[in-house]
Amino acid sequence: MSPVDHSLATNRLLEGLPHESREQLLSGCELVDLSFGEILTESGDRIRHIYFPTKSFISLIARTDDHALETGLVGDEGMFGISLILGVDLCPLQALAQGAGPALRMPTSSFIRELDQNIALQRTLKYYLFVVISQLTQTVVCNHFHRIETRLARWLLMMQDRAHSDEFHVTHEFLAYVLGVRRAGVTKAATSLQQNQLIHYKRGDITILDRVGLENASCNCYETDKVTYTRIMVQ
Structure confidence by residue, pLDDT tens digits, 133-176: 999 999 989 988 999 999 999 999 999 999 889 998 888 888 88
End-to-end, the C-alpha distance of the chain in Å comes to 33
Q: How confident is the model at residue 28 (pLDDT cuts 50, 70, 90)?
A: very high
Rounded to two decimals, what is the model's pTM? 0.91
At residue 91, does pLDDT exceed 90?
yes
| Strand bridging mode 68-74 / 205-208 | unpaired
CATH class of 147-218: mainly alpha
What sign results for the dihedral spanned by CA atoms 10, 2, 79, 173? positive
- According to CATH, the topology of domain 6-127 is Jelly Rolls (2.60.120)
Annotated domain spans of the chain? 6-127, 147-218
Mean pLDDT to the nearest integer, 20-27 = 92
Strand partners, 62: 69
